[in-house]
Chain A
Amino acid sequence: MSAFFVKRVISLILSLIAASVVIFLVLEVVPGDPAAFMLGINADPQAVEALRDQLGLNAPLVERYFTWVFGLMRGEFGTSYTYRVPVAELIADRLWVSLPLAIYALVLSTLIAFPVGIIAAARRNSLADVTVMGATQFGIAVPNFWFAMLLVLVFSISLRWFSAGGFPGWDAGAYEAMRALTLPAVALALPQASILARVMRSSLLDTLGEDYVRTARAKGLTRSQALWRHAVRNALIPVLTILGLQFSFLLAGAIIIENVFFLPGLGRLVFQGITQRDLIVVKSVVMLLVFAVILVTFLVDIAYAVADPRLRRQHA
């Protein structure tokens, strides 16, 4: 494991450094004077100077970058200019909405996609395959926020099964909280499940054409034994990559879906940050989301090595 693992960790760290530099440059250097930018054109020069002081903008660029990064490592994101509270606190509250939502959606999409993809591949060209694959074509084409609006129209306004939006908080009990997240999670999961099911199907069709499946059949395995014991496991390897990519789409999608359902998550926070020109908040949330994406990519790489002995032994 060692060399492979060390290499992955180094590339994880390099990616994080590169991403933080990009974010820092875009938000702190491109606007010219961030303090003046945040206060707007008509700001009082004294107020701008005070904010510059407060944000530490008078320090050299490199020093500012390192102050920010070392702060991040200690969990200190700075103080929000508009909320006047530590950004870490703002984020922590909202993470408890956004993260469960993304995971809920990921689990839903996997639970739908795997069986659908496997059945479609195993019964290729059957009525079930054609129907399900036709449905996934629609699933991919539907924008998740529009699907969310339709869900609200049907399940909240007409049937009144779920509330149309808002979040009671985890204090109201896990059941109520999950209930509030269900429609958003379904809206997020459906398009992703469609993509995942199609990838699962085509990956499985590829492995079903492999020689080792024929070898297994020659040993006397039935169709379904050969499918489950040999084809599915090998088909999962490329599916893992897509699963990892989907996490970043789910995070980004969650930002939008939160707007449909008025959920107090990171998405709402970042849009408020943009409208109020609160660069500190925007910078922190974007960095956090990018961190999540890079971390998931790293975990997928590690999962690859566990799933595929060729990688495991080579780098051992």
Chain B
Amino acid sequence: MTLLSVKKLGLTISGTPILRDVDLDVDAGEIVGLIGESGSGKSMTALAVMHLTPVGAEKTGSVRLDGKELVGLHDRQMCFFRGTEIGMIFQEPMTALNPVMTIGDQVAETVRVHKRVGRTEAMVVARDALGRVELPEDRFPLSLYPHELSGGQRQRVGIAMAIALRPRLLIADEPTTALDVTTQAQILDLLKRLVDEDGMGLLLITHDLAVVAGLADRIAIMRYGEVVEAGETGEVFREMRHPYTRALFEASRHQPVRLAPEVRPDAVPVLDVRGVVRDYPVARRRLFAPRRFFRAVDGVSFVIHKGENVGLVGESGCGKSTLSRAILALEAIQGGHIHVEGEPVGTGASFAARRKMQIVFQDPYGSFNPRQRVGKLICEPFHLLGAEAPTGADRDRRIAEALDNVGLRSSDALKYIHEFSGGQRQRIAIARALIIHPALIVLDEAVSALDVSIRAQILDLLADLSDRMMLSYLFISHDLTVVRSITDRVLVMKAGRIVEEGETEALFRNPQHPYTRQLIAAAPHLDRALAARDIMGGNNG
């Protein structure tokens, strides 16, 4: 008998249909991947199984756990299953734990609400569970609070809470999306080990095909609240019966077409960074302790030539965002110097260097003042031109040109930003960067918040613009697949230093520095995962 059997599950919230006829099976000891883009209903399916749907939700169909029907159970009855039979972990480890409770108490709570045991006994079980998720007693006593742990460690505590009573089924909702690649790999390994040891069924919900390709026994692909294709992992990837499966697959390994730039090393480089140092003062621990500094960027040097796309990769906290702010003259540097097309960059009043560069940020929703029209929004960089800024019809022409370049209509200039989707907003952000014809655009995680299909379109747009306008990009990202697809050269940053630099393909094929190797090995890679399953050869890296 299947462990979890979902049949014709339907869900409406306040009358709006969310899920339709969802069928899903998970067997004991099996990992099932549930894949979809945002809004596909994959998380809502999990919450419906758990009876944790929002107020106003109505369910139809059947959810059976070991043959026992869960749909229609009273909340009190369902509380018995949660924690004992089904455990669940969530995406955001930073907010998923109660900040005012110790980790020991939080894990022990799972035991105490289900079993008639005292605190001491529950703590023994909690200790054991934390041990199983590789948080050993000597370094992680039960008395720690969540804020004393890193994101990956917190996610382990979340897992310990879910598996403390050895449930038969574990549901993991995007468990690694908020984590760095190396941490992600460790958490995925841990989940796999727990499944093997306990014979649990694991329902792994993710947007990332590469993650499930390497891990799942079977997968189901969702769109618009329906499962469009499901089956054994290898089979689904081999056959791709549904067009959406194919589209998702293509978008995930999308490679924008680019011309190789003609780099002339003797010309003045677009960006020249030499020995840059950025120190932050650290909050004093004691009142009269001497002021100490944290070196976020430590002697970084590199150049970007005209038309060249350079990737900057590294995990959170490595200093890549600080470096980008220093390049854009948003922060003062404590050592070294930065030149853009020969003009020195400083936080002073001169715009000579600053008018040659622009930035595109990650969050398409926070990047625009909601109270201004698009036309006014994208003109903002004209401020850098001072008296030379175009006015009147000239200005309108430049706005239309910028919007046209990113595939939008000139009439869009009259709209407000809330009238656009996430992908369109990112196009507008690029238009804003293009409008003063910069030589360099810093792309700070510019496609990281987008769904794969939209991401592929934006990458194509970026590649096209770079070719047509001889634009140079500094492409900052934690996503190695994207960096590999669009850049010519890559810098790998760790703890404020560039540890390795090289031509993109060469570096990915033959990484020299141990950290680079570790990063590349940890990053989920669709082709590599499929090759391991003998599904396709492809260019394995």
Contact B88 A309 (CB under 8 A): no
Q: Does B114 contact A (CB under 8 A)?
A: yes
Contact of B92 with A211 in the complex, beta carbons under 8 Å: yes
Interface size class of A (residues with CB under 8 A): 20 to 34
**Which of A89-97, A213-221, A238-246, A285-293 contacts its partner?**
A213-221
Closest to A214 in B: B52
Given A215-B96, A233-B100, A308-B99, do A220 and B114 touch, yes or no (CB 8 Å)?
Answer: yes
Query: Taking the complex as formed, is B75 at the interface, i.e. its CB lies under 8 A from any CB of chain A?
Result: yes
- Least CB distance, A112 to chain B, in whole angstroms: 25
How many of chain B's residues have a CB under 8 angstroms from any CB in A? Answer: 35
A residues near B88, Cβ cutoff 8 Å: 218
A310 close to chain B: CB less than 8 A: yes
Report Cα–Cα, A7/B50, bound state, in Å: 47
Tell me whether A219 and B113 are in contact in the complex, defined as CB-CB below 8 angstroms, given that A313-B145, A313-B148 are known contacts. yes
Residue of A214, A229, A307, A313 touching B109 (CB-CB under 8 A): A229
Name the B residues within 8 Å of A308 (CB-CB). Answer: 99-100
Please provide the chain B residues from 64 to 113 with a CB less than 8 Å away from any CB of chain A in the complex.
75-76, 79-84, 87-88, 90, 92, 95-101, 109-110, 113
The yes or no answer to A230 lying at the interface (CB within 8 A) is yes
**A63 at interface, CB cutoff 8 A:** no
Chain A residues in 8 Å Cβ range of B110: 219-220
Query: Which chain B positions have C-beta within 8 A of A6?
Result: 287
Are B97 and A212 neighbours in the complex by a CB distance under 8 Å? yes
CB–CB B98/A230 < 8 A = yes
In whole angstroms, what is the CA distance A157 to B109 when docked?
Answer: 56
- Rounded to whole angstroms, the CA-CA distance of A3 and B285 in the bound complex is 7
A124 to chain B, nearest CB (A): 9
- The verdict on A220 contacting B84 (CB below 8 Å), with A214-B90, A313-B145, A313-B148 known, is yes
Tell whether B162 is near chain A: CB-to-CB under 8 Å: yes
Instruction: Name the interface residues of B403-444: CB closer than 8 Å to any CB of A.
Output: none
Per-residue interface assignment for chain A, residues 234 to 256, with 1 indicating a CB less than 8 Å from any chain B CB and 0 otherwise = 10010000000000000000000
Q: Is A42 engaged at the interface, CB distance under 8 Å to the other chain? A: no
On whether A218 and B82 interact (CB within 8 A), knowing A3-B286, A6-B287, A7-B287, the answer reads yes
Chain B residue nearest to A223 in the complex (CB): B75
Q: Which of A3, A217, A237 contacts B287 (CB 8 A)?
A: A3
Contacts of A222 in B (CB 8 A): 75-76, 79
Report the bound CA distance from A215 to B101 in whole Å: 13
Interface 1/0 per residue, A188-211 and B, CB below 8 Å:
000000000000000000000011
- B158 contacts A by Cβ under 8 Å: yes
**Is B203 an interface residue, CB under 8 A from the partner?**
no
A218 CA to B147 CA, complexed, in Å: 21
**When the two chains form their complex, are residues B87 and A218 in contact, meaning their CB atoms are under 8 A apart?**
yes
Which chain A residues (271-301) contact chain B, with CB distance < 8 Å?
none
A211: which B residues are within 8 A, CB to CB?
Answer: 90, 92, 95-96
User: Separation in Å of the B256 CB from the closest CB of chain A?
Assistant: 36
A314 to chain B, nearest CB (A): 8
For the complex, is B161 an interface residue (Cβ under 8 Å from A)?
yes
Q: Chain B's nearest CB lies how many Å from the CB of A117?
A: 19
A3 to B90, CA, bound (A): 36
In B147-200, the 8 Å CB interface with A consists of 147-148, 158, 161-162
Q: Is the CB of B52 within 8 A of A219?
A: no
A218 and B79 within 8 A (CB)? no
> Which A residues form the contact surface with B (CB < 8 A)?
2-3, 6-7, 210-212, 214-223, 225, 229-230, 233-234, 237, 307-310, 313
- The list of the 7 closest CB pairs from A to B, nearest first, reads A220-B83, A220-B82, A211-B95, A218-B88, A212-B98, A309-B145, A219-B83
Q: A2-B286, A6-B287, A308-B100 are in contact. List 9 more A-B contacts (CB 8 A).
A: A3-B286, A7-B287, A212-B96, A212-B98, A214-B90, A215-B98, A216-B109, A220-B82, A221-B79
> Can you list 17 A-B pairs, Cβ within 8 angstroms, ordered by A?
A3-B285, A6-B287, A7-B287, A210-B95, A211-B92, A212-B95, A214-B96, A215-B96, A218-B87, A219-B82, A219-B109, A219-B161, A220-B84, A222-B79, A309-B100, A309-B145, A313-B147
